[in-house]
Structure 1
Amino acid sequence: MVLAISFLEAPLKFRAPDVTLRIGLGIGRLVFRALNIVETVLAVALVVTVLVSVPPVSALVPVAVAIAALLVQLAGVRPRLSRRSDEVLAGKDAPRSRGHYVYIALEVVKVAALIAGGVGLLGA
């Protein structure tokens, strides 16, 4: 889901004909809100799973890293991006945000951590 939405849908929607910045931001907010809800539910499921059956450290550490990255996105980066998109959607000329780069970097961390966690589980 992270790969499909963050690395395909998000940048490609702005290349579609007649998609303005306002429309793209509106779509992006809906899509990322839904993605973050699903990610949060899955993160809670992972925490419960870890509490029920302790996985090997080779899987536990990457899962913890992925969850930490998600928490930073939700608590630190996403609110700032939302404030900026609110301004743009209200018609203000908001400056470009570097928060997107932080969000993307955290997406890369999540993907790498989830892959490493899966590999760690396979090796168990």
Structure 2
Amino acid sequence: MNSVSAAIAGAAVFVWLGMVLAISFLEAPLKFRAPGVTIPLGLGIGRIVFRALNLVEIVLAATVAVALAVGGPSTSVAVLAVVVAVVLAGQLAVIRPRLNRRSDRVLAGERLPRSHAHWYYVVFEAIKTVALLVLGILLLAA
């Protein structure tokens, strides 16, 4: 893989990793502990934040894909990039719509029993985090 493509892809991967760690594993759980933040308020904030994160993730994924397409990645780099893209696609196409439907109901004032559906998103975030970390390390070594 050429060094310029590896540097661009690596930078995008580590920015992406930092954003996922900061938002998914720091901001999201902590916002509900802030004084005065109700479940509906937290859900409303979370939807805005995760919509923005997901848009940036799409841009970063495209940046990585173009850099890898130009740079001729190793098989392991290509496989990890595909894993990250598939996990992101699963979050965007399957998990987020289900979470949004539920949060729509809560924001409309419906009282629902506690749900553990967000844990699917967390599991996918954990998989994506590990894959991004390993991908970034491989790109640094390229």
- TM-score above 0.5: yes
Amino acid at match of 2:87: A
Residue from 68, 71, 77 that aligns with 1:53: 71
Deviations 1:43-83, CA, capped at 9 Å, x for gaps: 11111122211111232211111111000000000000000
Match of 2:10 in 1: none
- TM-score w.r.t. length of structure 1: 0.95
Return the structure number with greater relative CO, CA threshold 8 A, min gap 6: 2
- TM-score w.r.t. length of structure 2: 0.83
Match of 1:38 in 2: 56
Match of 1:107 in 2: 125
More displaced 10-residue stretch of structure 1: 113-122 or 52-61: 52-61
More displaced 10-residue stretch of structure 1: 88-97 or 105-114: 88-97
**Share of identical aligned residues, percent?**
57
Q: Report the alpha carbon displacement of residue 122 of structure 1 after superposing the two structures with TM.
A: 2.2
Amino acid at match of 2:141: G
Residue from 72, 82, 104 that aligns with 1:64: 82
Structure 1 runs of 4+ with >4 Å offset: none
Structure 2 portions without partners, runs of 5+? 1-18
Over 3 Å counting, the alpha-carbon distance change for 1:54 and 1:97 in structure 2 is farther
Match of 1:6 in 2: 24
Amino acid at match of 1:4: A
